[in-house]
């Protein structure tokens, strides 16, 4: 519990001069490093040369670097950050009052940019290194569209091309997201498409398919490796992404330090792990170094429960099985949450860094049903004024639960959670919730056993 001597404002903004100048690489402080990516052909750890056709050179270095604690943020990226960062660290006075809790609740709000989420933090970095390498452009996939939007913005700013493969059902159901990307000059192709061999094969086998994230990844990778001057970029899961997203935690920590506040409990939603990893990294570093103690909770959807019901094993990152293998908590690369799940965080696996930390007992995880998530989202919107993304609302739900526990015990815990983004493009899901027709989906043990039975054979 922290002593607060200064009056804490509703929102703490850092000065430009206080913004981080380097990203923090939590792997440097991990005794047990995350397991290396493995080449699916050789079953050996990937080398820089293995990855060079797919990823940008500098990003490969970052991906494989388990030792360098701080990596400088290039000035051009820092200038871009200044357009939409520092993001506010908000003291949730109104929510505390509404709950009647003695807990002190803070959230780091990453939604005040047009991508609507924290994804922009890594998108600009990846686009920058691509441009710096003299590339013409990048390819990627997007589901709900936040990552695709972020990458489009970054590429527009730097003047490089951006090709986005958007899961077909999202392309059709979320025309607004598509148009935002087009505003930023990106080409957006519904996946599966006739532009790639993977896509053609998929359409031949399943003519009516509405696509999947795994297939879109495979198409984007194929396009990158077969088009001169292009590389593939990814918005979550990878080590490099967590590195870039550490800017969230670094800013949050600097803002709290200014006011002498130390959080007891840090909560983040977890899909692929980009936000959670970024938020907790600098705090986790202190814990790993034995300097300070914090409690960490990863919140995942009950419909895609990789931490709480998955296995810790090597698995494919994409359904096309052309990407390197990663050791992670996974539900199997064939697992796709039911379409009735609207709450996001649909990836079958989890960041290898976070998987290792979870495996080593440095953090907890809980899984939440989506109707509870939307109820928490509504409470939050009405009290704090921000309409949260369903993804972010997983963290809200657990923050509220923890604050209510404090109400019972009288404990004045300081809680920090990550509010990753806004829900402006998720109103179909909110509508279902308002109309009382939102259902919960929890995969059966049999379903998970089946999807986890097809793991690759790697030790």
Which stretches of the chain bind its own copies, using CB under 8 A? Answer: 9-11, 13, 15-16, 79-80, 82-84, 93-94, 112-114, 116, 153, 156-157, 175-176, 179-180, 182-185, 378, 381-387, 422, 424-425, 427, 430-431, 434
Per-residue HEC secondary structure of 347-376 comes to CCCCCHHHHHHHHCCCCEEEEECHHHHHHH
Q: Closer CB to its own copies, residue 84 or residue 294?
A: 84
CA distance 20 to 14: 10
Residues 230/138, Cβ–Cβ less than 8 Å = yes
Q: Closer CB to its own copies, residue 92 or residue 280?
A: 92
* Parallel/antiparallel/unpaired status of strands 89-91 and 11-12: antiparallel
Q: Minimal distance in Å, beta carbon 183 to its own copies?
A: 5
What Cα–Cα distance (Å) separates residue 25 from each residue in 17, 31, 78, 238, 259? 21, 13, 17, 12, 25
DSSP state at residue 45: B
Q: Minimal distance in Å, beta carbon 15 to its own copies?
A: 7
Q: Closer CB to its own copies, residue 32 or residue 79?
A: 79
Q: Closer CB to its own copies, residue 107 or residue 283?
A: 107
Angle between helices 75-84 and 120-132 (to 10 degrees): 150
Residues 415/108, Cβ–Cβ less than 8 Å = no
Structure tokens, 426 = 């998720």
* Parallel/antiparallel/unpaired status of strands 137-142 and 230-232: parallel
- HSE-up of 459 (CA within 13 Å, CB side)? 0
CA distance 325 to 315: 5
Q: Closer CB to its own copies, residue 17 or residue 453?
A: 17
Q: Minimal distance in Å, beta carbon 66 to its own copies?
A: 33
CA distance 327 to 43: 12
What Cα–Cα distance (Å) separates residue 399 from each residue in 92, 297, 403, 433? 11, 10, 6, 21
Q: Closer CB to its own copies, residue 40 or residue 185?
A: 185
- Residue entry with tokens 């509703």: 10
* Lateral strand order in the sheet of 230-232: 187-191, 161-167, 137-142, 230-232
Q: Closer CB to its own copies, residue 382 or residue 405?
A: 382
* Parallel/antiparallel/unpaired status of strands 265-269 and 325-330: unpaired
Cα–chain center distance at 53: 24
Q: Closer CB to its own copies, residue 13 or residue 70?
A: 13
Q: Minimal distance in Å, beta carbon 416 to its own copies?
A: 18
Q: Minimal distance in Å, beta carbon 14 to its own copies?
A: 10
Taking alpha carbons only, the member of 149, 165, 146 closest to residue 157 is 149
Q: Minimal distance in Å, beta carbon 424 to its own copies?
A: 5
Q: Minimal distance in Å, beta carbon 76 to its own copies?
A: 11
Q: Closer CB to its own copies, residue 32 or residue 183?
A: 183
Structure tokens, 382 = 């009405």
Structure tokens, 420 = 């990753």
Q: Closer CB to its own copies, residue 172 or residue 431?
A: 431
Q: Minimal distance in Å, beta carbon 306 to its own copies?
A: 29
Q: Minimal distance in Å, beta carbon 291 to its own copies?
A: 31
* Lateral strand order in the sheet of 265-269: 11-12, 89-91, 104-109, 414-419, 265-269, 295-301, 364-368
Q: Minimal distance in Å, beta carbon 229 to its own copies?
A: 21
Q: Closer CB to its own copies, residue 182 or residue 289?
A: 182
Q: Minimal distance in Å, beta carbon 405 to its own copies?
A: 25
Residue 188 host element (H or E): strand 187-191
Q: Closer CB to its own copies, residue 100 or residue 228?
A: 100
CA distance 3 to 91: 15
Q: Minimal distance in Å, beta carbon 378 to its own copies?
A: 6
């Amino acid at each position: 519990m922290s002593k607060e001597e200064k009056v804490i404002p509703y929102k703490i903004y850092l000065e430009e001069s206080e913004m981080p100048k380097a990203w923090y690489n939590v792997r440097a402080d991990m005794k047990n490093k995350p397991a290396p990516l493995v080449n699916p052909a050789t079953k050996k750890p990937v080398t820089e040369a293995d990855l060079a056709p797919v990823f940008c050179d500098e990003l490969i270095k970052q991906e494989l670097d388990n030792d360098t604690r701080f990596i400088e943020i290039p000035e051009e990226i820092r200038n871009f950050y200044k357009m939409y960062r520092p993001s506010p660290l908000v003291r949730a006075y109104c929510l505390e009052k509404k709950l009647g809790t003695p807990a002190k609740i803070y959230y780091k709000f990453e939604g005040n940019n047009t991508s609507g989420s924290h994804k922009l933090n890594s998108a600009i970095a990846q686009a920058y290194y691509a441009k710096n390498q003299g590339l013409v452009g990048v390819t990627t996939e997007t589901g709900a569209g936040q990552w695709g939007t972020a990458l489009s913005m970054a590429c527009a700013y730097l003047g490089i091309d951006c090709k986005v493969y958007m899961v077909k059902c999202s392309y059709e159901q979320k025309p607004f997201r598509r148009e935002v990307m087009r505003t930023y000059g990106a080409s957006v192709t519904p996946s599966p498409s006739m532009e790639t061999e993977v896509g053609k094969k998929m359409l031949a086998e399943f003519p009516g398919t509405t696509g999947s994230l795994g297939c879109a990844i495979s198409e984007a990778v194929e396009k990158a490796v077969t088009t001169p001057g292009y590389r593939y970029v990814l918005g979550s899961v990878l080590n490099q992404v967590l590195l870039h997203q550490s800017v969230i935690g670094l800013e949050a920590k600097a803002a709290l330090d200014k006011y002498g506040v130390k959080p007891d409990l840090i909560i983040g939603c977890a899909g692929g792990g980009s936000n959670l990893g970024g938020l907790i990294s600098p705090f986790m570093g202190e814990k790993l170094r034995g300097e300070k103690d914090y409690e960490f909770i990863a919140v995942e959807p009950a419909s895609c429960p990789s931490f709480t019901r998955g296995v810790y094993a090597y698995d494919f990152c994409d359904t096309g099985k052309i990407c390197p293998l990663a050791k992670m908590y996974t539900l199997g690369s064939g697992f796709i949450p039911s379409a009735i799940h609207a709450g996001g965080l649909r990836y079958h696996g989890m960041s290898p860094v976070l998987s290792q930390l979870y495996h080593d007992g440095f953090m907890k995880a809980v899984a939440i049903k989506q109707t509870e998530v939307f109820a928490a989202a509504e409470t939050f919107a009405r009290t704090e004024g921000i309409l949260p993304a369903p993804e972010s609302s997983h963290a809200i739900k657990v923050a509220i639960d923890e604050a209510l526990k404090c109400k019972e015990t009288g404990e004045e815990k300081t809680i920090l959670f990550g509010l990753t983004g806004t829900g402006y493009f998720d109103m179909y899901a909110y509508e279902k919730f308002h109309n009382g027709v939102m259902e919960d989906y929890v995969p059966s043990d049999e379903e998970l056993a089946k999807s986890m039975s097809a793991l690759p054979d790697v030790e």
